[in-house]
C-alpha cells in the first residue's frame, strides 16, 4: 500500500460527508468517487476539487469506474437504497444485499486486493455479505460497526462530567442497531475506572447511566426525526478508520469484525467489537473482560444478527 488511495462507492450524504472530511483533514493522497449515477459522482468531484486550494495537502480527486479500484488501498462502500412504500425491512435488507453483491463483483473483477470498509446499513449484516462475496480474508473486510455509536457515547459522557471527549474511553459493542449495549465495565476517564468517576463526581450518578445509554441508542432516530438522515458523525468516524489503516497505526477502534469465536457468542457473524487496525486490516480483536450482564447482552445481539443473516442468506 504505497499510495493512500481511497475509492468511495456511493456519493450520497454519507459518502460525501466522508469525502469532505478526508479532504479537510488531508487524510489521503487520492480519492475516486463512484455512484450508480455517474453525473452525481462527477459533480461531487468537481465541487470538492474547488476546495483543494484550502486543503492541508496536495490531493487528487476524481470520479471514476470500478477499474479505479484495482490499485486502491481501501474501498469504502456507502451506497444504498432506502425503503420503498410497502416494502418490509427484510425486503429492503435483501435489496441492499443484492446491491452489495453487484458492487463487490465489480470491485473484485478489477484485481483489487486492498481493504473494504462498509458503512451501508444494516452494516454488520452487509459487511458479512461483502466478505463472502469478495473472497477476501476476513481481516481485510470490515464495517464501521459501533465506531459512531461509541463516539456518541463518549460525547454524552463528556457532557455530563465536563471532561474533554478525547479523555473518555468507552465502547458501545454488539450490533450497530437496537441490540447494541454500553460496555460500562471497561469504560474509563483518563485511566480512572468509570465506577470511581461516578463515586467521586457530583455531576453524574449511577442512575444517569441508563439515560446516557438511551440517548446514544436513540441518537440516529432523534437526528432523522429532525433532518431525515445522519452523515457528519459517520463521515468523521470513517476518516478515523481510514487513517488507522493508511498510517499503519495499530489503533484500537470498535468496528464490525468477523467473530471467529474470540468472544463466547455466536460466531461466523460480523459484529461490533474493539479491534487493532493497521495497513493490513484487522490485526486482532481485543478481548475484554465483560461483566455477566454484558456477556448476556453480547450473546443476545449476536443471536439477533445470526437470525437476520440467515434470513437474508436464504432470500438471496
Ligand atoms: P443516500 O441515499 O444519500 O446515498 C446513497 C447513494 O448510493 C446514492 O448517491 C445512490 O445513487 C448510490 N447508489 C445506490 N445504488 C448504488 C449502486 N448499485 N452502486 C453505486 N451507488 C449506488 O444515503 P446516505 O444517507 O448517504 O446513506 C447511505 C447508507 O449509509 C445508508 O445505508 C445509511 O443507513 C448508512 N448509514 C450508516 C451509518 C453507520 O454508522 N454505519 C450512519 C449513517 C448512515
Based on the fold, state whether residues 93 and 198 are members of the same structural domain. Answer: no
Q: Say how many Å lie between the CA of residue 209 and the centre of ligand 1.
A: 32
Long-range pairs of 151-155 with CB within 8 A, sequence gap ≥ 24: 151/233, 151/236, 151/237, 152/215, 152/216, 152/219, 152/233, 153/182, 153/212, 153/213, 153/216
Query: Percentage of the chain with pLDDT > 70?
Result: 99
Backbone CA torsion sign across 104, 268, 88, 15: negative
Based on the fold, state whether residues 102 and 138 are members of the same structural domain. Answer: yes
User: Of 143, 168, 200, which residue constitutes the final position of a domain?
Assistant: 143
Q: What is the CATH number of the domain that holds 91?
A: 3.40.50.720
pLDDT at 248 over 70: yes
Average pLDDT over residues 262-286: 95
Strand order in the sheet with 168-169: 168-169, 188-189, 192-193
What is the rounded CA–CA span in Å between residue 288 and residue 88?
36
97 lines ligand 1 (CB under 6 A): no
Q: Domain range holding 266? A: 147-315
Radius of gyration of the chain (CA): 19
User: Of 143, 163, 197, which residue constitutes the final position of a domain?
Assistant: 143
What is the rounded CA–CA span in Å between residue 314 and residue 316?
6
Reported confidence tier of residue 5, pLDDT bands at 50, 70, 90 = very high
Based on the fold, state whether residues 139 and 153 are members of the same structural domain. Answer: no
| Ligand 1 closest atom vs CA 230 | 43
Based on the fold, state whether residues 134 and 246 are members of the same structural domain. Answer: no
Based on the fold, state whether residues 154 and 48 are members of the same structural domain. Answer: no
- The residue assigned the cell 462475496 is 133
| pLDDT the model gives residue 17 | 98
Q: What is the pLDDT of residues 44-93, one digit of tens each?
A: 999 999 999 999 999 999 999 999 999 999 999 999 987 777 777 778 88
Q: Say how many Å lie between the CA of residue 254 and the centre of ligand 1.
A: 21
What is the rounded CA–CA span in Å between residue 165 and residue 159?
8
Instruction: Please give the C-alpha separations between residue 228 and each of 44, 91, 124, 231, in angstroms, as whole numbers.
Output: 21, 21, 22, 10
- Residues 71, 72, 75: CA angle, nearest 5 degrees: 145
What is the rounded CA–CA span in Å between residue 259 and residue 6?
26
- The residue assigned the cell 454524552 is 156
Based on the fold, state whether residues 134 and 160 are members of the same structural domain. Answer: no
Number of folded domains that form the chain: 2
Q: What is the CATH number of the domain that holds 258?
A: 3.90.110.10
| pLDDT the model gives residue 201 | 86
15 lines ligand 1 (CB under 6 A): yes
Reported confidence tier of residue 1, pLDDT bands at 50, 70, 90 = low
Q: Lowest mean pLDDT: which of 46-50, 85-89, 177-181, 224-228?
A: 85-89
| pLDDT the model gives residue 81 | 87
pLDDT at 31 over 70: yes
Backbone CA torsion sign across 82, 237, 167, 169: positive
66 lines ligand 1 (CB under 6 A): no
| Ligand 1 closest atom vs CA 147 | 40
| pLDDT the model gives residue 169 | 97
pLDDT at 316 over 80: no
Q: Say how many Å lie between the CA of residue 82 and the centre of ligand 1.
A: 8
Based on the fold, state whether residues 120 and 176 are members of the same structural domain. Answer: no
How many CB atoms are closer than 10 A to CB 289? 8
| pLDDT the model gives residue 110 | 98
Based on the fold, state whether residues 96 and 151 are members of the same structural domain. Answer: no
Based on the fold, state whether residues 298 and 151 are members of the same structural domain. Answer: yes
Known catalytic residues are 176
What is the separation, in whole angstroms, between the first and last Cα of the chain?
A: 34
The answer for residues whose C-beta is within 8 angstroms of residue 233's C-beta and 6 or more apart is: 148, 151, 152
Mean pLDDT of the chain: 95
The answer for residues whose C-beta is within 8 angstroms of residue 62's C-beta and 6 or more apart is: 31, 32, 33, 45
Average pLDDT over residues 277-294: 97
- DSSP assigned state of 57: S
What is the rounded CA–CA span in Å between residue 255 and residue 285?
10
Based on the fold, state whether residues 77 and 100 are members of the same structural domain. Answer: yes
User: Of 113, 143, 173, which residue constitutes the final position of a domain?
Assistant: 143
Based on the fold, state whether residues 174 and 213 are members of the same structural domain. Answer: yes
| pLDDT the model gives residue 219 | 92
- The residue assigned the cell 462502500 is 77
Based on the fold, state whether residues 40 and 96 are members of the same structural domain. Answer: yes
104 lines ligand 1 (CB under 6 A): no
| pLDDT the model gives residue 85 | 73
Q: Which span out of 182-186, 221-225, 259-263 was modeled with the highest average pLDDT?
A: 182-186
pLDDT at 206 over 80: yes
Q: Say how many Å lie between the CA of residue 79 and the centre of ligand 1.
A: 4
Amino acid at each position: 500500500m504505497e499510495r493512500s488511495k481511497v475509492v468511495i462507492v456511493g456519493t450520497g450524504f454519507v459518502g460525501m460527508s466522508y469525502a469532505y472530511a478526508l479532504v479537510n483533514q488531508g487524510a489521503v493522497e487520492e480519492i475516486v468517487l463512484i455512484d450508480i449515477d455517474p453525473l452525481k459522482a462527477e459533480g461531487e468531484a468537481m465541487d470538492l476539487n474547488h476546495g483543494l486550494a484550502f486543503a492541508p495537502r496536495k490531493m487528487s480527486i476524481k470520479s471514476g469506474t470500478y477499474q479505479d479500484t484495482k490499485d486502491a488501498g481501501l474501498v469504502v462502500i456507502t451506497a444504498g437504497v432506502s425503503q420503498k412504500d410497502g416494502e418490509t425491512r427484510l425486503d429492503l435488507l435483501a435489496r441492499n444485499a443484492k446491491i452489495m453483491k453487484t458492487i463487490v463483483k465489480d470491485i473484485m473483477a478489477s484485481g483489487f486486493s486492498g481493504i473494504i470498509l462498509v458503512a451501508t446499513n444494516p452494516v454488520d449484516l452487509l459487511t458479512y455479505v461483502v466478505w463472502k462475496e469478495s473472497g477476501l480474508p476476513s481481516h481485510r473486510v470490515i464495517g464501521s460497526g459501533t465506531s459512531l455509536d461509541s463516539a456518541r457515547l463518549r460525547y454524552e459522557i463528556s457532557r455530563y462530567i465536563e471532561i474533554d471527549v478525547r479523555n473518555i474511553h468507552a465502547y458501545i459493542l454488539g450490533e450497530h442497531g437496537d441490540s447494541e449495549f454500553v460496555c460500562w465495565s471497561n469504560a474509563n476517564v483518563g485511566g480512572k475506572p468509570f465506577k470511581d468517576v461516578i463515586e467521586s463526581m457530583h455531576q453524574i450518578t449511577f442512575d444517569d447511566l441508563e439515560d446516557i445509554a438511551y440517548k446514544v441508542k436513540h441518537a440516529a432516530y432523534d437526528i432523522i426525526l429532525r433532518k431525515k438522515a445522519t452523515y457528519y458523525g459517520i463521515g468523521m468516524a470513517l476518516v478515523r478508520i481510514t487513517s488507522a489503516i493508511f498510517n499503519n497505526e495499530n489503533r484500537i477502534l470498535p468496528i464490525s469484525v468477523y467473530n471467529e469465536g474470540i468472544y463466547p457468542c455466536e460466531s461466523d457473524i460480523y459484529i461490533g467489537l474493539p479491534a487493532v487496525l493497521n495497513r493490513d486490516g484487522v490485526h486482532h480483536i481485543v478481548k475484554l473482560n465483560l461483566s455477566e450482564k454484558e456477556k448476556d447482552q453480547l450473546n443476545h445481539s449476536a443471536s439477533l444478527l445470526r437470525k437476520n443473516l440467515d434470513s437474508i442468506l436464504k432470500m438471496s
